[in-house]
Amino acid sequence: MTASHNSEPELFWALRGGGGNFGVVTAMHHRLHELPSIWSGMLLFPFAEAKAVLEGCAAIAASAADELTVQLGILMGPDGSPMVMIVPTWCGPPEQGEAHVAPFFKLGTVLVSTVAAMSCKDRLGIFAPHIVNGQRVFMETKSQTATMYVGDTASNHVMALGGYCCSGVLGPFSINGTGTTVVNPCW
The CA distance from 171 to 139, in Å, is 6
Phi, then psi, of 174 in degrees rounded to 5: -95, 135
pLDDT digit string, tens, across residues 81-95: 888 989 999 988 889
Looking from the CA of 180 toward its CB, the CA atoms found within 13 Å total 25
The CA distance from 97 to 90, in Å, is 6
For residue 164, give the amino acid letter.
Y
Nearest CA to 72 out of 85, 61, 59, 82 is that of: 85
What pLDDT, on a 0 to 100 scale, did the predictor assign at position 11? 80
Dihedral class, residue 40 (left if φ above 0, else alpha if ψ from -120 to 50, else beta):
beta
Domains annotated on the chain, with CATH:
1-30 (no CATH), 38-180 (3.40.462.20)
pLDDT digit string, tens, across residues 148-183: 444 444 445 554 444 443 333 444 445 555 444 444
The CA distance from 180 to 115, in Å, is 21
DSSP bridge pairs for 74: 84, 170
Q: Does 128 or 117 have the greater pLDDT score?
A: 117
Q: Does 60 or 134 have the greater pLDDT score?
A: 60
Phi, then psi, of 180 in degrees rounded to 5: -100, 5
For residue 113, give the amino acid letter.
S
pLDDT at residue 120 is higher than 60: yes
In contact, 77 and 128? CB cutoff 8 Å = no
Phi, then psi, of 84 in degrees rounded to 5: -85, 130
What pLDDT, on a 0 to 100 scale, did the predictor assign at position 168? 38
In contact, 172 and 43? CB cutoff 8 Å = no
Q: Does 109 or 85 have the greater pLDDT score?
A: 109
What pLDDT, on a 0 to 100 scale, did the predictor assign at position 26? 79
The CA distance from 85 to 24, in Å, is 33
What's the whole-number average pLDDT of the chain?
74
pLDDT digit string, tens, across residues 8-60: 888 877 777 665 666 677 787 777 777 778 999 999 999 999 989 988 988 89
First CA to last CA distance, the chain: 19
User: What is the separation of C-alpha 138 from the centre of its chain, rounded to a whole number of angstroms?
Assistant: 15
Contacts of 39 (CB under 8 A, 6+ apart): 88, 89, 90, 94, 97, 98, 100, 101, 115, 116, 117, 118
